[in-house]
């Protein structure tokens, strides 16, 4: 079973460049999430979606945009990358009312 798949796994960007991170899940989950993981800060929620065509802001949404055009995919976009966005990004999905979340393997992004 693939579960949650993130693309790419690694990326280096220059300041000001844009990119899109792709998350795909094959479990027919309603909820999808994007987190960033930084040393000493745990996981912080960037944006989330409670169903196809819906998105909402999490704790740290500034500088990011998302789209959920298909139920199985959740895209995270950086329009103009900044060094402060250097982080490891995790996508996750879950299906209510079971709140267990399934995570992808992460994308390590470095902005120079």
Partner 1 sequence: GNSVTQMEGPVTLSEEAFLTINCTYTATGYPSLFWYVQYPGEGLQLLLKATKADDKGSNKGFEATYRKETTSFHLEKGSVQVSDSAVYFCALSERTGFQKLVFGTGTRLLVSP
- Nearer to partner 1 by Cβ, of 104 and 111: the residue is 104
- Nearer to partner 1 by Cβ, of 17 and 52: the residue is 52
The least CB distance from residue 50 to partner 1, in Å, is 7
- Nearer to partner 1 by Cβ, of 18 and 57: the residue is 57
Distance of alpha carbon 25 from alpha carbon 3, whole angstroms: 6
> Residue numbers of the site for partner 1 (CB under 8 A)?
4, 33, 40-43, 45, 48, 50, 56, 58, 90, 92, 96-97, 99-106
The least CB distance from residue 55 to partner 1, in Å, is 13
The least CB distance from residue 22 to partner 1, in Å, is 15
The least CB distance from residue 41 to partner 1, in Å, is 6
- Nearer to partner 1 by Cβ, of 19 and 45: the residue is 45
**DSSP sequence for the chain:** ---EEEE-SEEEE-TT--EEEEEEESS--SEEEEEEEETTTEEEEEEEESSTT--EE-SS-TTEEEE-SSTTEEEEEESS--GGG-EEEEEEEEETTEEEEEE---EEEEE-
Distance of alpha carbon 7 from alpha carbon 42, whole angstroms: 22
């Amino acid at each position: 079973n693939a579960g949650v798949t993130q693309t790419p796994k690694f990326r280096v960007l220059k300041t000001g460049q844009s990119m899109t991170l792709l998350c795909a899940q094959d479990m027919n989950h309603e909820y999808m999430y994007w987190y960033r993981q930084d040393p000493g800060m745990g996981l912080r929620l960037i944006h989330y979606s409670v169903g196809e065509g819906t998105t909402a802001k999490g704790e740290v949404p500034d500088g990011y945009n998302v789209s959920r055009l298909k139920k199985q995919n959740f895209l995270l976009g950086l329009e103009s990358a900044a060094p402060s966005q250097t982080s490891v990004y995790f996508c996750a999905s879950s299906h209510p009312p079971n709140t267990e979340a399934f995570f992808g393997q992460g994308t390590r992004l470095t902005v120079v």
